[in-house]
Amino acid sequence: LEADAATVLNVTQDHLDWHGDMPSYAAAKHRIFAANTVRVLNRDDATTMRMASATGHNVTFGTDAPALRDDLGLNNERGVLWLATAIPAEEEGEPKKRKKNDPPPPPVECMVKNLMPADALQIRGVHNATNALAALALCRAIDLPLAPLLHGLREYRGQPHRVELVSAINEVEYYDDSKGTNVGATVAALNGLGKAFTGGHQRLLVILGGDGKGQDFAPLADPVGRYARAVLLIGRDAPQIRAALEHAAKEQGVELAYTLEDCGTDLPLAVKRASELAQAGDAVLLSPACASMDMFKNYAHRAQVFIDTVRDIALDAGQEL
């Protein structure tokens, strides 16, 4: 494989049962880049940024405003979040095209150019906005025109089971992120939805647990502490998740600021309990950070059980999905 452009979105714990350790896993991802590949890298992920080429062309994306030519990011302008790129200060209109084997452009003074409001995306969460930036960077690296790319981003509805809105019931939203089968994906979902809450009163009720595949659950503690009203635990590795969250709180010398309950192997119970604890404006998020096979046929089966339970809650509230 010698891609014209490629990206590594992040490097978080997953597949360690196959790769053995994180350095081996990162090295496997690094192999996607050839000598002349335009490397699209995540500024918010230090491991990814270490994959930058010293002599080739790197393009970065991230949750901050872009600073270098061709980079992309999120620009907060007067309270509105924009997908944005950096262009030379004297350049107007669409960024100039660059051939694959051209040398990297020299550093120049750049300005931020807003491309489209993040709210125009149909996929929710800051993490999905950065995914959109990565896709945009890949397409721009092979000289696809900007306008139809932005139109495509506006029209894209997302993939099933990836922070997918199932329904809103009594001012509470229900999101299916059953595809969140590792800690990194769930951290992204928590941060993405949590940061989208601008009023400060809305919170997440997150359902975690399943087959943890030997992961370290400690990275969940920070976003859970920031954004969760409640954590409902299910599945085989629920005790390990509880221990990680409680240990993090003890290390910080604070009490858990959220409800933490075990629901055994009963996902419908967890969903209904989340519904009971939720307040207007909150969101219930199934993002287990674990594989599903300890309780379900696969992640799609887990998602269907979640959706069916949400449908029952909607019917009880006099609504239909």
**AA identity, residue 117:** P
Residue extents of the structural domains in the chain: 5-155, 164-316
- Tens of pLDDT, residue by residue over 203-225, are 999 999 999 999 999 999 999 99
Class of domain 164-316: alpha beta
Report which of 215, 218, 250, 212 is spatially closest to residue 234, judged by C-alpha positions: 212
Segment holding 291, helix H or strand E: none
- Tens of pLDDT, residue by residue over 228-256, are 999 999 999 999 999 999 999 888 887 88
Write b or e for each residue in 54-80: b if 16 or more Cβ atoms lie within 10 A of its Cβ, otherwise e: eeebbbbbbbebbeebbbbbbbeeeee
pTM for this prediction = 0.77
Average pLDDT over residues 310-317: 97
Q: Are 287 and 227 in contact (CB under 8 A)?
A: no
CATH superfamily of 5-155: Mur-like, catalytic domain (3.40.1190.10)
**AA identity, residue 42:** N
Segment holding 83, helix H or strand E: strand 80-88
- Per DSSP, the three-state class of 26 is helix
Band the pLDDT of 314: cuts 50, 70, 90: very high
CA–CA distance from 109 to each of 64, 133, 144, 180 (Å)? Answer: 18, 21, 24, 40
Distance CA 219, CA 320 (A): 37
Distance CA 267, CA 210 (A): 10
Tell me the β-bridge partners of 5.
Answer: 38
Q: DSSP label at 97?
A: P
Q: Distance from CA of residue 122 to its chain's centroid? A: 14
